[in-house]
Structure 1
Amino acid sequence: MQFTILNDRRFWLLFAFAITLLGFPYGILTDWITRSGDVYSTNHPGGGDFVVFYVASEMILQGHFRDLYDPAKFSQTIIDRYGSDYEMRWLYPPHFLFFIAPIAKLPYLAAWAGFMAASFAFLAAIGRIVWGKRDIVFWLLVAPSTFLGVLLGQMSFLVGGLMIGSIFLWDRKPILAGILLGLLTIKPQYGVLIPLVLLLERRWLVIGVASATALVLIGASILVFGTAPWHAFLFGMDGANSDILTTASKKFLGLQMSVFGSARLLGADLATAALLQGLSALLAVVALVATTLSGARRDTKIAMLVTATYLVSPYVLFYDLVAPTFVALWLYFGKEREQPPGILFSALLIFVAVLSFVNGATVAFGFGSGPIAFFALAIALLLRGRAETGRNGRSLRGPLIKGKCREANAA
């Protein structure tokens, strides 16, 4: 077929990304440029959410470790520094403090820029290792999830890189995958289903390395910061966590990608939203187990693991989409396959890759599209896995256990 730009998959992906930049949800790009809105104050230019990490670093350097986990004290610290607490709290485990401890030694803007650059460089490096070619760095750079991460000053690049690396690399580099998985405990909700798959596939080396890495991090945090932050994190944060999950703020719920958040946006009470989230989690786990034990190809299983994770968690915000974006890119370009997917599946993958924009558009009509995207992708992956199992004629569980995944997937 004669080449035209309209039959190039890269054109349609770039087109979708460009449309996203023109219509970011809630005018976030405009707020960032004008330093207006609820978070983008002239008091702390740059990523609005980064103020949490910056203030936490200041408190660490001053020795106020436990105060991080006291919502009232943390709020007062932000007010003293900026005049408003911006309704932000510290919700991360103590060993994450190692990642942000020194940043307050720099001016706010320099610290934000440095943190964003370093964390994206980490994501790009992991993406390059997994993908095998440098072109993935370009696609990660122009992805909507990247712009959101920078504008908000969030840790999404770091978490996304850890999740991608731990899942995609446990065949080729199990020790590195285990280390990355241990580090992923800085935001544990995105690794909650990984142990289940590791047990089903009997990947004992990855489990052992991940456990050792997490224990070392926790032990080091106790040695450096003492036990008080851990006690406060485990037993003293009920109020801060419940405030986030029980909020009725339409603006905040509009940024949620979970079943729970979307149900609340539609007006469901807490009990109904929790029930729907529980059903979503149950269905996601069943789909994940079925796919993991099937004869589906490896990328199908990985995509189902990521998709199920986002259906299980009740707290997923619109900047937490780096891993789904990477999976969508992998499947969209047909990595390690002879042919890319068909039109309908490709459209669904683009939908996932620009979900932050689509969700912002649907929220304007009163509903979130996060669960729609992830449920649709889970169903498509189930059908894909079933077809692949039929072609293979057997389960791949045996070859996976024996470390022969690549040979089995090539069949």
Structure 2
Amino acid sequence: MIGSPREARFGGSEPRRGWTWLAPWIVGNLVVLGLFALDLRHLDGGMVSPGAYWGRDFVNVWTAGRLLIEGRLELLYDLAGYHRFQLEQFGRIGQHNYSYPPLALPLALPFGLLPYPVALLAWLGATGWFFVRAARSWWVRATGLPAWLVLATPAGLVNIWAGHYGFLIGGLLLYGWRNLEARPVLAGICFGLLAIKPHIAILVPLMLLARGEWRAIGAAAVTVVVLVAGSAALFGIDRWIEYITVTLGVQAALIDAGNSFFRFMSTSLATGLLHWSMPRTTAFAIHWAQAALAAAMVVHGARRGSTQQVALLAATATFLVLPYAFNYDLTVSAMAAGMLLYVPRLQGWERRLVLGGFMAAQLGMVLVAAGIPGIALLLWGLFVAQYRSTVTATVER
């Protein structure tokens, strides 16, 4: 094994507490509180804006469940047919698409059995509970704060507003890293389940290889193979062909988000540069250069830090590497920033970088509105602070 995973208190000292530390939570959540207020103001029979329904992206989870129950899966990746089906269910809803691979369908099934409002509450409740359980030991030990507060980070509230997968994906990442040393096969299964949103796991294989975690790698690979083969057997190989040939192209097109709302939520430096009308070749060259730097720094950190430090460092780096990702999936990065905010050993400039990273999911949207690729820049600040903490901290055994 390259390096030795060493568990330690995050930051190595007693956490800071006090009412002054509420300020980042209050200021960091102002944007999404405003978005909730706008949705309530425009709420009309479930519609919260032209084309958007309450719970926003959760309509795709529920729709997939309904299509599975009704035996109409041929519509799942048929953009026109999928939209017609949603018009039947929701009325004047705008164009959506199911952007997840067929192996995610069993997850949608139980929610499709419920009325939509009940299903939305069950989705947020179940995934939120899962994330709290996964985060509890690291979060409470580092901050001394109640575990449920990990749901109220700026990224957590964006995920609630968007009705997205951020708590589920974040929980799988945390359970995987937490079990890596004691139960590597279980850790690998958790990492394999990330195939629900496979791009979010882009750095996991690299980290496991850097640390020589062969049992976890094997378990993850077997899990993915079983999920792909099982879903092909259950739902047909055509669903996979449609996902690869149609849906992946639709999602890739969102990297150049233009003036759509997606650009406000994108964590991608490439998206920000393209909005400046930078040539695609130049924008992607810059993006991949900084992505390579981030990946190299994570590999170096993997040789020096504890499993916990490496896990949280890689979680932030993921969104520097990916050209396609959004702020509702920053739940683990926001948690990492929150943990760093509550320990005293950081220098003043580092603490300011961490504070910006903590608020990146929402403050970054304001910067994007001003024409600055703010989420990516704020995440770089957080990443630098995490990297320094990982490679320089004195680890308590």
TM over 0.5: yes
Which of 107, 111, 114 aligns to 1:99? It is 107
1:2-401 equivalent positions in 2, closer than 5 A: 9-24=17-32, 27-36=34-43, 40-41=48-49, 46-131=54-139, 135-293=145-303, 295-334=304-343, 340-388=345-393
Aligned residue pairs, count? 380
Q: Aligned-pair distance for 1:374?
A: 2.1
Q: Could you say what the CA RMSD is over the residues aligned between the two structures, in angstroms? A: 2.7
Q: Deviations over 1:35-80 (max 9, x none)?
A: 4599625998631221111111111111122321122222222233
Distance across 1 between alignment mates of 2:233 and 2:260: 42
Q: Deviations over 1:280-316 (max 9, x none)?
A: 22111221222223x3444443332122211111112
Instruction: Describe the shift of the 1:333–1:165 C-alpha distance in structure 2 as closer, same or farther (beyond 3 A).
Output: farther
Q: Is the 1:39–1:49 contact (alpha carbons within 8 Å) kept by the matching residues of 2?
A: no
Moved more, 28-37 or 175-184: 28-37
Q: Aligned-pair distance for 1:170?
A: 1.2
Distance across 2 between alignment mates of 1:374 and 1:354: 9
Structure 2: which amino acid aligns with 1:378?
F
Corresponding residue SS for 1:40: strand
Structure 2: which amino acid aligns with 1:190?
I
Q: Is the 1:246–1:270 contact (alpha carbons within 8 Å) kept by the matching residues of 2?
A: no
Instruction: Describe the shift of the 1:203–1:39 C-alpha distance in structure 2 as closer, same or farther (beyond 3 A).
Output: farther
Structure 1: which amino acid aligns with 2:237?
T
TM-score (structure 1 length as normaliser) = 0.84
Corresponding residue SS for 1:319: helix
Distance across 2 between alignment mates of 1:219 and 1:43: 36
Structure 1: which amino acid aligns with 2:85?
T
TM-score (structure 2 length as normaliser) = 0.86
Q: Is the 1:256–1:317 contact (alpha carbons within 8 Å) kept by the matching residues of 2?
A: yes
Instruction: Describe the shift of the 1:91–1:197 C-alpha distance in structure 2 as closer, same or farther (beyond 3 A).
Output: same
Q: Deviations over 1:234-255 (max 9, x none)?
A: 2333542243223312532122
Distance across 1 between alignment mates of 2:391 and 2:353: 18
Distance across 2 between alignment mates of 1:91 and 1:306: 22
Corresponding residue SS for 1:23: helix
Structure 1 alignment gaps of length 5 or more: 1-6, 392-408
Distance across 2 between alignment mates of 1:346 and 1:43: 40
Question: Identity of aligned pairs, percent?
Answer: 24
